[in-house]
C-alpha cells in the first residue's frame, strides 16, 4: 500500500512538471508573436524588409499553392502602389504553440484587413501554422502555411465577394 502511494505521488509530481508551463519559454513564445507583428508592420510600408524575418530556405504555402518570398514581396508592392491611403490591420489569436531550444511553432487564427481611400474593406480570414528556427540569437520564420476560411462576419450586401468568401451559401 505504501509503495502504491509513493508511485502515485511521484507520478503526480512528474505529470504536473510535464504539463506546467515553463515561464522561461513564455517569453520566447512572445518573441515569436512579436516577430509576426514586426512582419505585419513592414508588409504595408516596406515589403522588402520582411526578408530579414525569414530563413533563407523558407517555404510558404498559401491555401494549396507554394509562394516564393520574392513573389509575395512583389504582390505587396503592387498592392501598395494601387491602393491609396492604405491601412492594414492584422488580428491574431494564438491557438497553440510550442517552443524548444532552436525550433518553435505557432498555430494561429488570423484576420487580415486592408482598407484604402477608394476601395472597400478587403479581408482575409485564415488559420496559419508558422514554424520558426533560431538563427544565432534571432528567431526566423522557416515555414508558413495558411489556409483560408470563410469570413462569417461578412453579410450579403456588405461585400461583393460575399459568395466567394462563403461558397456554401
Question: How far apart are alpha carbons 42 and 39 in whole angstroms?
Answer: 5
Lowest mean pLDDT among 91-100, 116-125, 129-138: 116-125
3-state secondary structure of 136: coil
Q: Domain ranges for the chain, please list them.
A: 24-165
3-state helix, strand, coil in the chain (%, to 5): 40, 40, 25
Is the pLDDT score of 139 beyond 90?
Answer: yes
For residues 62 and 165, the model is more confident at 62
In the chain, the percentage of residues whose pLDDT exceeds 90 is 32
Question: How far apart are alpha carbons 18 and 15 in whole angstroms?
Answer: 5
Position 69 scores a pLDDT of: 85
Question: How far apart are alpha carbons 70 and 48 in whole angstroms?
Answer: 8
Position 103 scores a pLDDT of: 95
Question: Are 111 and 90 within 8 A, CB to CB?
Answer: yes
Record the cell numbers describing residue 9, joined without a space. Answer: 505521488
Q: Give, in words, the CATH class of 24-165.
A: alpha beta
Give the rounded distance of the alpha carbon of 10 from its chain centre.
Answer: 38
Is the pLDDT score of 165 beyond 60?
Answer: no
pTM of the model: 0.72
Residue with cell 512579436: 34
Question: How far apart are alpha carbons 123 and 89 in whole angstroms?
Answer: 9
Q: What is the pLDDT of residues 98-113, one digit of tens each?
A: 999 999 999 999 988 8
Amino acid at each position: 500500500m505504501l509503495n502504491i502511494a509513493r508511485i502515485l505521488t511521484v507520478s503526480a509530481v512528474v505529470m504536473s512538471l510535464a504539463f506546467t508551463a515553463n515561464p522561461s519559454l513564455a517569453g520566447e513564445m512572445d518573441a515569436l508573436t512579436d516577430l509576426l507583428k514586426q512582419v505585419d508592420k513592414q508588409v504595408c510600408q516596406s515589403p522588402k524588409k520582411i526578408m530579414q524575418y525569414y530563413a533563407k530556405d523558407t517555404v510558404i504555402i498559401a491555401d494549396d499553392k507554394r509562394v516564393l518570398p520574392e513573389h509575395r514581396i512583389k504582390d505587396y508592392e503592387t498592392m501598395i502602389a494601387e491602393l491609396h491611403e492604405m491601412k492594414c490591420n492584422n488580428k491574431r489569436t494564438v491557438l497553440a504553440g510550442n517552443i524548444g531550444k532552436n525550433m518553435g511553432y505557432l498555430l494561429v487564427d488570423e484576420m487580415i484587413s486592408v482598407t484604402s481611400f477608394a476601395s472597400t474593406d478587403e479581408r482575409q480570414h485564415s488559420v496559419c501554422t508558422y514554424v520558426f528556427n533560431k538563427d544565432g540569437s534571432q528567431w526566423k520564420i522557416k515555414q508558413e502555411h495558411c489556409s483560408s476560411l470563410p469570413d462569417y462576419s461578412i453579410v450579403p450586401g456588405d461585400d461583393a465577394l460575399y459568395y466567394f468568401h462563403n461558397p456554401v451559401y
